Amino acid sequence: MSSHVFSKYFSGGLFSRDMLGSIVVFLVALPLCMGIAIASGMPPAAGLITGIIGGIVVGAIAGSPLQVSGPAAGLAVLVFELVREHGVAALGPVVLLAGLIQIAAGLCRVGIWFRMTSPAVVAGMLSGIGILIVASQAHVLIDAKPAARGLENFAALPGALADAFSGEGTGLAALGVGLTTIAIMLGWEKLRPQKLRFVPGALLAVVAVTAFVQFNGVNVNKVDVPANLLSAISLPSFADLGGLLEPSLLVAALTFAFIASAETLLSAAAVDRMHDGVRTNYDRELTAQGVGNTLCGLFGALPMTGVIVRSAANVQAGSATRMATMMHGAWLLVFALLLPWLMRMTPVSCLAGILVFTGVKMINFKQVKSFAAYGKGTAAIYLATTFAIVATDLLAGVLVGFALSLFRLALLSSRLKVNLAEHDDEPGAAKLHLTGIATFLKVPSMARTLEQVPPNTRLHVVMDDLHHVDQASFELLRDWARNAKSRGCELVVDWMELERRVEGPAKAA
């Protein structure tokens, strides 16, 4: 930063805007970093380290200056499952490899291609994740341990609630703490004064509930944060890195890289719509996220993405430059190093309440109506992706969404009208009019029409308005022509022209 720019930054009011924005984002990020770590089956310090790296490092090199990066609820489900199946030691190498994949993707300039992801699939993914978060954090809300799968959590919830209401353990008190947290956040969202709109409800809830628990000696589980944040750093060993040769861990790294990249770049696009400043450089943003995740993997922390909630808070607080994001990371670092004892007072169920609130906001079935405006198929993709994620897992659900999107695209691109009519100028003859694009999806329709051709008919294929024919449709016509003589029929078609329409798109490509 040159002396002129440096002077303008401080004298032009940019510094004060970024300072206020950084404090607001810090207050939003602090409880979320710890809560998402607990939801991921990791210690809260792992989430704080990710938030610090996302602010200071990624904020300095990001392609989206006002986007805030850190641990995201969207990856909590994946981390939880990975840690459950392979242990904590596997997380660092997987996140490190995911980061390297993102760096390679950014340097190869594929960042913009992630925007090809269907909005219905992304929205379905977020809704599915929201349901899974609510299902798991409902157990943490009563100081109970969540199961690995969403359906298992829903099935076990009645029993967990019965145990909590039995009066044994800390479950009932924890439930009161969690519900109070949610109530404060809801009330603040509805009633907060305009002048205090920048104060996050999550922070207000944490401060109020923690103070009440401390002063009244309420017996609930508290957050476990080490006195020295550096002691939470866990560098992967060579043996841990060697475990990446296991196919399931390679798939996990690819899944982390893809979902983190898609969520980041879609979030960046949303942030661009919130302000009139510098637009996102998607390849640079993807590379920056890769650098951040590589460092998170080296330190054994949570994976990161660009996070829309924190980013929106950053923009709404009036932040002007990337310095706001960097300073929020510095605030997290200072707080974690100097005031860990304060964080250890926070009830776990309070953070679970924040995540339940966040998860419910991610579940937005009102979107069905807006997606239906683009066709019932789009709404069906959204719902199918959501329920597939809940019923199976995140990767399988996203793949279901992609498969349905491609199938719908194939249906939409295969618009073919098949019309059989008598030939006006030739007795005993008929015309087969083919209009549009003939693909394998229209083979049944063409076959049924050809079955209606009467015996002893000379059938002329009219293809003036036929734009493309795939191999399946071509083979159907050739097979019918071959068998037509047995019924006294004949197929009249310009085979060379038909072959040209089969091969034309391929040659053009």
Q: Indicate if 289 and 203 belong to the same structural domain.
A: yes
User: In angstroms, rounded to a whole number, what is the distance separating the alpha carbons of residues 224 and 206?
Assistant: 15
19-28: burial string, b at 16+ Cβ within 10 Å, e else: eebbbbbbbb
- For residue 91, being part of any structural domain is answered with yes
- For residue 405, being part of any structural domain is answered with no
pLDDT at 507: 41
147-155 LR contacts (CB < 8 Å, sep 24+): 148/80, 148/81, 148/84, 149/393, 150/389, 150/390, 150/391, 151/390, 151/391
Q: Indicate if 269 and 161 belong to the same structural domain.
A: yes
- For residue 125, being part of any structural domain is answered with yes
What is the sign of the dihedral through the CA atoms of 486, 492, 495 and 496?
positive
- For residue 2, being part of any structural domain is answered with no
Global confidence as pTM = 0.73
Q: Indicate if 49 and 138 belong to the same structural domain.
A: yes
| Distance, CA of 383 to chain centre | 15
Secondary structure class of 176 (helix, strand, coil): helix
- For residue 399, being part of any structural domain is answered with no
Residue that is written with structure tokens 């904590």 in the block: 88
pLDDT at 506: 41
**DSSP state, residue 485:** G
CB 221 within 8 A of CB 174: yes
**Domain end (from 351, 370, 389):** 370
- For residue 79, being part of any structural domain is answered with yes
What share of residues in the chain are helix, strand, coil (percent, to 5)?
A: 70, 5, 25
**Domain end (from 313, 335, 370):** 370
**Domain end (from 335, 370, 405):** 370
CB 153 within 8 A of CB 125: no
Q: Indicate if 328 and 439 belong to the same structural domain.
A: no
- For residue 6, being part of any structural domain is answered with no
Look up the CATH number of the domain holding residue 436: 3.30.750.24
Domain range for 483 is 416-508
Question: What six digits make up the tokens of 92?
Answer: 């660092």
Q: Indicate if 359 and 235 belong to the same structural domain.
A: yes
- For residue 135, being part of any structural domain is answered with yes
Q: Indicate if 425 and 501 belong to the same structural domain.
A: yes
Beta carbons within 10 angstroms of residue 120's beta carbon: 28
Q: Indicate if 436 and 310 belong to the same structural domain.
A: no
pLDDT at 102: 96
* Residues in contact with 152: Cβ distance below 8 Å, sequence separation at least 6, in sequence order: none
CB 51 within 8 A of CB 29: yes
Q: Indicate if 127 and 222 belong to the same structural domain.
A: yes
Number of domains forming the structure of the chain: 2
User: In angstroms, rounded to a whole number, what is the distance separating the alpha carbons of residues 323 and 13?
Assistant: 13
Q: Indicate if 422 and 294 belong to the same structural domain.
A: no
Beta carbons within 10 angstroms of residue 362's beta carbon: 20
Q: Indicate if 306 and 437 belong to the same structural domain.
A: no
Q: Indicate if 151 and 263 belong to the same structural domain.
A: yes
Q: Indicate if 330 and 475 belong to the same structural domain.
A: no
- 10-residue mean pLDDT profile of the chain (509 residues): values are 60 77 84 86 92 95 92 84 90 95 92 74 82 87 82 88 85 92 91 76 87 91 82 82 87 91 82 82 94 95 88 82 93 88 87 85 83 85 90 81 85 81 83 88 89 91 86 89 89 85 51
